[in-house]
Every structure is written in C-alpha cells, then in structure tokens.
Amino acid sequence: MSVVNSESVVTNTRTPVVIIKPILYGNTAKHLGTKRDSDGHTHRWSVYIRSFNNDDLSTYVSKVQFRLHETYPNHARMITQAPFEVEESGWGEFETQITIFFADPNEKPVVFYHHLKLFSTDPDVVAGTKDLVNEHYDELIFQEPSDLLVRLLNCAKAFAPSTDENLATAKEYAIKKHDTIDRVKKARQRVRSEIQDLTERLRITQENIKRVRQRTMDNSSPMGTFSLSIHDNIKREIVD
C-alpha cells in the first residue's frame, strides 16, 4: 500500500488469494451454402470469449482484442463491452489472437491463440443445418490480485439464469474433465513404471561396473576374456 497524501490512500494492496475463473473461447461457423459473388465469402463466423459458469465477465474484464487475419479491414478489433465477440464472414481459416484486458490495469493482459475453424467433415455442418463449434475450456488464474480486482472478481455473480444449453455444455465438459483426468492418471502410471524400470537397469549396470572395477583391481584373471564377458553381460541386461 502506498500513501499518496494524508487524505487519499491508493489501494494497491494484495490479498494472498488465488481466484480462478473458468472461461470458454473459440468460434462458431455457418456455411452460407454458396460462394458469395461480391467477395467470395463462404461462411459466417463468430469468435468469442465467455464465462464458463455464466459469470458476468464484464465486471472484471475491461476489453478484449481479437486480432484477425490481415485480409480483414481494421483487423485488430477491440471489444469494450460484453458480449466479447466478433461476428464476420470469410472464406478462409486463420489463427486469431485474443487478448483479455482486466479492470485493474496493473493486472497483466492474458493472451490466447485460437485457430478459427470454418470447415468440417460433419455432413450437417457441410449442409449448413448445424453450426460448427470449435471452442476450448481454460481458466483465468489470478494470483494475489489487487484488492480492487478481488472485489470485482467476487461480485461477478451469474447475471443470467442457467439455460438448458449451458447445462448441456456443463455436462459435456464434466465428462471431458473426467476423461482427461483419467488419461493423465494413466500416463503418470506409465511414466512411473518406466522410471522404475530404468532405475533398476541403472542399478544393474552400476553393479556390473563396480564388479569390473573390483576385478580389474584384483587383476586375478587375464583382462581380455574377462572384460569381454562382463561387457556381454551388461549388454544383455540392457537389452532385456
């Protein structure tokens, strides 16, 4: 905290908390059916970031910049109020850069990269009867945010009731989360057993080296044949 004068106190104090805000970012796209004569555009699309749990993002997000492909006029689009999204049309896929700025200017902006997807092999999407949705779940993690930001983060309560669509998304993500945790656990198990295996091999090899050294020092057998047999032994155990 720094004191500016006897009357005003600037609050840049930090609360030792971590606040996590789940978000979704990505794009939807809809096939127009034909290539538009005027500009060759084939799809309508939107790129967005929104809260995963229906929080009011604009309580703590001041603006979001969507950096589009340079073929778009004014390709760095700054959105200063919710919904934080850009709707456009086009003919090609490209990588967008999404930068989130927070209500506390001292909080470093967060950047996401998203591949704006238009094309799909899903027949319903190709026919234009279903929108393509390509979105990702992520979390904004605020480590010791300023008191101001803590207040804003905590009052970003759900501003709209959960819709069926939101509930369906939440269920889908819960399943994905479960599967992902399962995969991570299995991968950890595999790595652990590989480490065990390699540690055992290392131990055997070190023992062999020790034995060779010992025998060399004892020098009780003719070196040529002896070292050859130990060498073969090590090789065999490593291959096993």
Residues forming contacts to ligand SLL in the complex (CB under 6 A) are 39, 69, 71-72, 90-94
Question: Which tokens belong to 106?
Answer: 């001292």
Distance CA 51, CA 22 (A): 6
Residue 52 near residue 174 (C-beta atoms within 8 A):
no
Question: Which tokens belong to 214?
Answer: 């010992």
SS3 at position 12? coil
Least separation in angstroms between residue 93's CB and ligand SLL is 5
Least separation in angstroms between residue 45's CB and ligand SLL is 9
Residue 134 near residue 94 (C-beta atoms within 8 A):
no
Q: What are phi and psi of 105, to 5 degrees?
A: -60, -15
Complex with ligand SLL: residue 85 or 147, whichever CB lies closer: 85
Least separation in angstroms between residue 37's CB and ligand SLL is 13
Least separation in angstroms between residue 94's CB and ligand SLL is 4
* Residue from 145, 152, 177 nearest 52 by CA: 177
SS3 at position 191? helix
Complex with ligand SLL: residue 42 or 58, whichever CB lies closer: 42
Complex with ligand SLL: residue 119 or 226, whichever CB lies closer: 119
Complex with ligand SLL: residue 36 or 213, whichever CB lies closer: 36
> Which residue has the closest beta carbon to ligand SLL?
90
Least separation in angstroms between residue 84's CB and ligand SLL is 21
Complex with ligand SLL: residue 22 or 40, whichever CB lies closer: 40
